[in-house]
């Protein structure tokens, strides 16, 4: 595909989701223990949050810790939890000053009480900000999210507020963690793997997928621009034909 013309306005993604992978391999390659890789990853995270917000992109969702990451060695899990706690304390004021609204998605009840309190405090502090929405997925899994949504719908059926036949895509989507947000337009995964690893399974149905070998601690604003340029070059058809999308043929049902 031809490179997008740099003189014409580029369609920016409204919502970017990132699987921040490769911290452990970065540490190994540099002769450090894995936890140093996670610390180095925090620096990339800060820089990317700033760069995405500066571009005027409305939402950024970051995969920080998956449901499956609980099965890592206990020292790594506890050092990651301490790091989240420390980073939240350090960064939340700056996020707030920049008008960013912070939200957490995931199985909060699996986190320590003190971390849950800190997450809640960050959400409350930034709740009325009208800048970029920053969603941090911690103890999150796409399957977990669909199951918790199904469970909420089942409870409404049990309570007689709904019948099973009422359930449609919109009702289920309304119970998912990212309810009310536009779906991610662009998914970036660093670290070389070409897989979803149980991230936003429902929401990524039509996301454009961008994979890079760059390890997360090395990912910088130039890499972000490459991903955004890739996005600008995609034709998003959502099941229609290219002619329909270009307006050369009328669109029919489903519009």
- Interacting residue ranges for Mg ion, rule: CB under 5 A: 21
Residue 36 vs residues 43, 80, 220: alpha-carbon distances, Å: 11, 10, 18
Which residue of the set 30, 69, 129, 145 is catalytic? Answer: 69
Judged by beta carbon, residue 23 or residue 133, the one nearer ligand IPE is 23
Q: Which residue of the chain is nearest Mg ion when measured via CB?
A: 21
**Paired strand residues for 188:** 18, 210
Query: Which position among 13, 15, 21, 230 is part of the footprint of ligand IPE (CB under 6 A)?
Result: 21
Judged by beta carbon, residue 33 or residue 242, the one nearer ligand IPE is 33
From start to end of 20-145, where are the E strands?
Answer: 59-66, 101-105, 133-140
222 assigned to active site: no
Residue 63 makes contact with ligand IPE by CB under 6 A: yes
Judged by beta carbon, residue 90 or residue 195, the one nearer ligand IPE is 195
Per-residue x/- marks for ligand IPE, 70-89, CB under 6 A?
Answer: ----------x---------
From CA 233, how far away is CA 12, in angstroms rounded?
A: 11
CA torsion angle 168 177 234 214 (round to 10): -150
185-204 positions binding ligand IPE, by CB under 6 A: 191, 193, 195, 197
69 assigned to active site: yes
From CA 38, how far away is CA 148, in angstroms rounded?
A: 29
φ, ψ at 153 (rounded to 5°) = -65, -40
Judged by beta carbon, residue 21 or residue 208, the one nearer Mg ion is 21
Interacting stretch for ligand IPE, rule CB under 6 A, among 4-12, 63-71, 106-114, 168-176?
Answer: 63-71
From CA 98, how far away is CA 108, in angstroms rounded?
A: 26
CA torsion angle 81 146 180 204 (round to 10): 90
Residue 64 makes contact with ligand IPE by CB under 6 A: yes
**Paired strand residues for 19:** 63, 189
Residues annotated as part of the active site: 21, 69
Binding site for ligand IPE (CB under 6 A): 19-25, 63-66, 69, 80, 191, 193, 195, 197
């Amino acid at each position: 595909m031809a490179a997008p013309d740099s003189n014409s306005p580029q369609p920016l993604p409204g919502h970017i989701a990132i699987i921040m992978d490769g911290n452990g391999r970065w540490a190994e390659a540099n002769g450090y223990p894995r936890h140093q890789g996670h610390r180095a990853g925090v620096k990339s995270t800060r820089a990317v949050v700033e760069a995405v917000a500066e571009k005027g992109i409305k939402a950024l969702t970051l995969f920080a810790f998956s449901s499956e990451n609980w099965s890592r060695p206990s020292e790594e899990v506890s050092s990651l939890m301490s790091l989240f706690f420390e980073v939240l304390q350090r960064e939340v004021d700056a996020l707030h000053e920049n008008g960013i609204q912070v939200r957490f998605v995931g199985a909060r009840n699996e986190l320590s009480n003190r971390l849950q309190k800190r997450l809640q405090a960050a959400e409350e502090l930034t709740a009325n900000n009208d800048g970029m929405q920053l969603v941090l997925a911690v103890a999150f899994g796409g399957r977990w999210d669909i199951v918790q949504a199904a469970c909420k719908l089942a409870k409404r059926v049990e309570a007689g507020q709904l019948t099973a036949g009422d359930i449609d895509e919109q009702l289920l989507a309304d119970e998912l963690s990212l309810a009310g947000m536009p779906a991610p337009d662009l998914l970036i995964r660093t670290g070389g793997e070409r897989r979803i690893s149980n991230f936003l399974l429902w929401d990524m149905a039509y996301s454009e997928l961008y994979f890079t070998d760059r390890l997360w601690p090395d990912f910088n604003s130039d890499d972000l621009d490459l991903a955004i340029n890739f996005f600008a070059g995609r034709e998003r058809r959502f099941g229609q034909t290219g002619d329909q999308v270009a307006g050369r043929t009328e669109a029919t049902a489903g519009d």
